[in-house]
Amino acid sequence: MLLDRIEKLNPRLNTYITVSRELAIRSAERAEKELCGRRRQKSRRDRGPLHGIPISLKDNIYTKDLRTTGGSLILKDFVPLQDAPAVAALKNSGAVILGKTNMHEFAYGVTTENAHFGATRNPWDRERIAGGSSGGSAAAVSAGLCYGSIGTDTGGSIRIPASLCGVVGFKPGLGRVSPEDVIALSPTLDSVGPLARSVEDAALLLEPILIRGKNEKRRLLSKELSARTRRPKLGIPKEFFFDLLDPEVEATFRGAVRRMEKRGARLKEVSLPELQSTEEVGNQIAWAEATAYHQQAGWFPAHADQYSEDVYKRLELGTKVTAIAYLEARAFCEKFKQQVFELFAANDLDALVVPATPMAATPLGQTSVEIRGTPYPTRAMLLRLNRPANLAGVPAVSVPCNLSKAGLPIGLQFIAEWNCEGRLLEIARLFELEFPWTARPPLTGFA
- Give the model's pLDDT for residue 217: 67
- Give the model's pLDDT for residue 140: 98
Q: Are 318 and 288 in contact (CB under 8 A)?
A: yes
Is the pLDDT confidence value at 43 over 70?
no
Q: Are 211 and 178 in contact (CB under 8 A)?
A: yes
Helix, strand, coil share (%) of the chain residues, nearest 5: 40, 20, 40
Is the pLDDT confidence value at 282 over 80?
yes
Please indicate, yes or no, if residue 443 is contained in any of the structural domains. no
User: Band of the pLDDT at 426, cuts 50, 70, 90?
Assistant: very high
Q: What is the mean pLDDT of residues 292-301?
A: 98
Is the pLDDT confidence value at 41 over 60?
no
Please indicate, yes or no, if residue 447 is contained in any of the structural domains. no
Q: What is the mean pLDDT of residues 178-188?
A: 98
Specify whether 157 is catalytic: yes
- Give the model's pLDDT for residue 197: 97
Q: What is the mean pLDDT of residues 29-41?
A: 79
Please indicate, yes or no, if residue 445 is contained in any of the structural domains. no
Is the pLDDT confidence value at 327 over 50?
yes
Other C-beta atoms within 10 Å of 241: how many?
22
User: Band of the pLDDT at 317, cuts 50, 70, 90?
Assistant: very high
Q: Which amino acid is at 266?
A: R
Please indicate, yes or no, if residue 121 is contained in any of the structural domains. yes
CA–CA distance, 316 with 403 (Å, rounded to integer): 38
Q: Share the mean pLDDT of the chain.
A: 95
Is the pLDDT confidence value at 188 over 80?
yes
Is the pLDDT confidence value at 332 over 80?
yes
User: Band of the pLDDT at 447, cuts 50, 70, 90?
Assistant: very low
Is the pLDDT confidence value at 42 over 90?
no
Q: Are 387 and 155 in contact (CB under 8 A)?
A: yes
CA–CA distance, 191 with 396 (Å, rounded to integer): 11
Percent of the chain exceeding pLDDT 70 equals: 96
Q: What is the mean pLDDT of residues 192-200?
A: 98
The residue among 47, 152, 39, 142 whose CA lies nearest residue 95 is 47
- Give the model's pLDDT for residue 446: 56
- Provide the CATH number for the domain around residue 24: 3.90.1300.10
Please indicate, yes or no, if residue 440 is contained in any of the structural domains. no
**Distances from the Cα of 243 to the Cα of 23, 340, 350, 354, 372, angstroms:** 48, 20, 24, 12, 11
Radius of gyration of the chain (CA): 21
Choice among 20, 27, 56, 58 that is catalytic? 58
- Give the model's pLDDT for residue 69: 98
Please indicate, yes or no, if residue 109 is contained in any of the structural domains. yes
Q: Are 142 and 166 in contact (CB under 8 A)?
A: yes
Choice among 157, 163, 308, 398 that is catalytic? 157
CA–CA distance, 326 with 287 (Å, rounded to integer): 9
- Give the model's pLDDT for residue 38: 56
Q: What is the mean pLDDT of residues 161-183?
A: 98
Cis omega (within 30 of 0) on the bond before 358? Answer: no
Choice among 20, 93, 133, 191 that is catalytic? 133
User: Band of the pLDDT at 36, cuts 50, 70, 90?
Assistant: confident
pLDDT tens for 200-247 read 999 999 999 999 877 776 678 877 767 667 799 999 999 999 999 999
The total number of structural domains that make up the chain:
1
Please indicate, yes or no, if residue 446 is contained in any of the structural domains. no
Is the pLDDT confidence value at 263 over 50?
yes
Please indicate, yes or no, if residue 439 is contained in any of the structural domains. no
Between helix 421-434 and helix 199-206 the angle, nearest 10°, is: 160
Domain holding 241, by residue range, is 2-434
- Give the model's pLDDT for residue 212: 84
Side-chain half-sphere exposure of 142, counting CA atoms within 13 A: 37
